[in-house]
Amino acid sequence: MKTFLTHLLIAGLLLTGGAAIATDVADISLLKYPEPAGEKCVEPAEKMRREHMDLIQHQRDETMHNGVRGITAKHSLKGCIDCHVGYDDQDKAVSINAEGQFCQSCHNYAAVSIDCFSCHRTTPDGENPMRKSAMTNPHQ
């Protein structure tokens, strides 16, 4: 009886553990989108998946009202686009909200519409600093 209870307990733990893992990290291996240009994100991927909307909303107020721009604007949408934008066969940037691109693929998976791009530009404006560094890096 004791062993049965122990087994039940272990099975229960495994089940809840498994469920917790399933809800914590969605299986994004099903999603296809271009590889980011940079080596690492401004925050850990898990944090970005859950909190990117809050981070960019906080940044937007900092930029809009306090004029914090450029390199000090760590969580700027512009930074996201520069790093995550994909390029087509003609080496032309593809809109980040187009099908199969970074923002759209995940938002489509999560069934959440994106409002950003009714106003914001969807590709880097002019030369993309992230792309340049990626292309000149011989190790990539």
Question: Where on the chain is the footprint of other proteins (CB under 8 A)?
Answer: 60, 62, 64-72, 78, 81, 118-121, 124-125
**CB of residue 118 vs other proteins: minimum separation in angstroms?**
4
d(CA 86, CA 51): 23
Nearest by Cα to 125 from 88, 77, 90, 56: 77
Q: Reduced to 3 states, what is the DSSP secondary structure of residue 91?
A: coil
Nearer to other proteins (CB atom), residue 63 or residue 105: 63
Distance in angstroms (rounded) separating the CA atoms of residues 73 and 88: 28
Nearer to other proteins by C-beta: 35 or 125?
Answer: 125
At a CB cut-off of 8 Å and minimum separation 6, what does 47 contact? Answer: none
User: From the CB of 129, what's the least distance to other proteins, in Å?
Assistant: 12
What are 54's two structure tokens? 């809050």
Q: In angstroms, give the least distance from the CB of 20 to other proteins.
A: 35
Closest-CA residue to 124 (of 88, 94, 89): 94
Cβ proximity to other proteins: between 1 and 71 the closer is: 71
Nearest distance, CB of residue 55 and other proteins, angstroms = 15
Tell me which amino acid residue 86 is: G
Nearer to other proteins, 49 or 120 (CB): 120
